[in-house]
Amino acid sequence: MAEDDRARESASGAPAVKPVEDSSGPGGAPAIALRILAARLLGGLENPGTLVETALLEACESGDVGLRREALLALGRLGGVRAISALVAGLDAGEKEVRLVALDALSALNEEHAAGGKLSALLEDPDPGVRVSVVRALAKGKGEQAVAGLCRALGDSNLQVCRAALSVLSASAYSPECRESILALMFRFGGGLRMEAAATLRRLNDYGVADRLLKAVADPDREKFQWIAIDALGELYAEEAMQ
């Protein structure tokens, strides 16, 4: 024990406590916490300006995962070309939590983006939760790749991913291929999505599958699917039945 420590202990009667090193420097925890708070506050500004955007973009290069996540979320709220570029770059992050934040921020944008190609590649992610986030982000995408990605998601092996794709499908992303996937989806997962699939077709004003559903009802060789087709038809024409 150092002489000054021993002197303090003998004078007070209690063991000397070694002073804690100051961690408020550039890499210290308090400094990081302040930067995270600053990023959160900056993302809420109505007219942030170029300096704020630049600061957030620099924070996206931080070695601290928490700061990068907060900066991406802030950029998602602010939007703009540079912000979208940073969010797309975040999709390649090594940390799963950073990739998920980038996905969530892209899906929360109030503007379209052109990240459909990179997002579609993430539909191969083994985690269904990631694929659900991809679908939501694709809904804000523009171009053929985003449309193709949503159609592909309708054929996913996970029910929740398919449900997400049904919920975000819009007229601008709709295609004959999507119709076929939705029709097939009525009979997948034990018919678990039959009502949502039919409601989606009604929302998109597409009644072209009605004849095929009627054939399924009348087909004795598809008896186990008849109740699914009947329910789907009822949902497809639900609004007309109420008038």
CATH code of the domain covering residue 123: 1.25.10
Residues in the chain: 243
Residue 28: what pLDDT?
58
Q: Looking at the domain assignment, is residue 95 inside a domain?
A: yes
CA angle 196, 101, 98 (to 5 degrees): 135
100-132 b/e (C-beta count within 10 Å ≥ 16 → b): bbbbbbbbebeeebebbebbbebbeeeeeebbb
Same domain, 194 and 232: yes
**Rounded Cα–Cα distance for residues 139 and 183 (Å):** 20
Identify whether 11 is part of a domain: no
Measure the CA–CA gap between 121 and 220, rounded to whole angstroms: 41
Instruction: Write phi, then psi, for 45 (nearest 5 degrees).
Output: -70, 145
Q: Which residues contact 105 (CB under 8 A, 6 or more apart)?
A: 72, 73, 75, 76, 77, 87, 90
Range of the domain at 98: 27-111
Whose tokens are 């210290």? That residue is 28
pLDDT in tens, the chain (243 residues): 444 444 444 444 444 433 333 333 455 566 777 777 677 767 667 777 788 888 888 988 888 888 898 899 888 888 888 888 899 899 888 888 888 999 988 888 877 776 778 888 889 989 999 999 999 989 888 778 888 999 999 999 999 999 999 999 999 889 999 999 999 999 999 999 999 999 999 999 999 999 999 999 998 888 889 999 999 999 999 876 555
Asked whether 75 and 40 are in contact (CB, 8 A), the reply is no
Is 10 part of a structural domain of the chain?
no
In a domain, 19, yes or no: no
Residue 160 in contact with residue 128, Cβ under 8 Å? Answer: yes
Same domain, 178 and 168: no
pLDDT reported for residue 15? 41
Q: What is the domain count for the chain?
A: 3
Instruction: Specify whether 105 is located in the same domain as 122.
Output: no
The pLDDT value given to residue 139: 87
Q: What is the 3-state secondary structure (H, E, C) of the chain?
A: CCHHHHHHHHHHCCCCCCCCCCCCCCCCHHHHHHHHHHHHHHCCCCCCHHHHHHHHHHHCCCCCHHHHHHHHHHHHHHCCHHHHHHHHHHCCCCCHHHHHHHHHHHHCCCCCECCHHHHHHHHHCCCHHHHHHHHHHHCCECCHHHHHHHHHHCCCCCHHHHHHHHHHCCHHHCCHHHHHHHHHHHCCHHHCCHHHHHHHHHHCCCCCCHHHHHHHHHCHHHHHHHHHHHHHHHHHCHHHHHC
Q: Is residue 141 part of a domain?
A: yes
Q: Quick one: pLDDT at residue 9?
A: 43
Last residue in a domain, options 96, 111, 126 = 111
Quick one: 99 and 31 in the same domain?
yes
Q: What is the pLDDT of residue 112?
A: 73
Question: 73 with 141, same domain?
Answer: no
2 inside domain: no
pLDDT of residue 227: 94
At residue 43, the pLDDT reads 67
Within a domain: 18: no
Q: Are 167 and 198 within one domain?
A: no
Structure tokens at 17: 């406590």
Domain annotation covers residue 194: yes
Q: Provide the pLDDT for residue 8.
A: 42
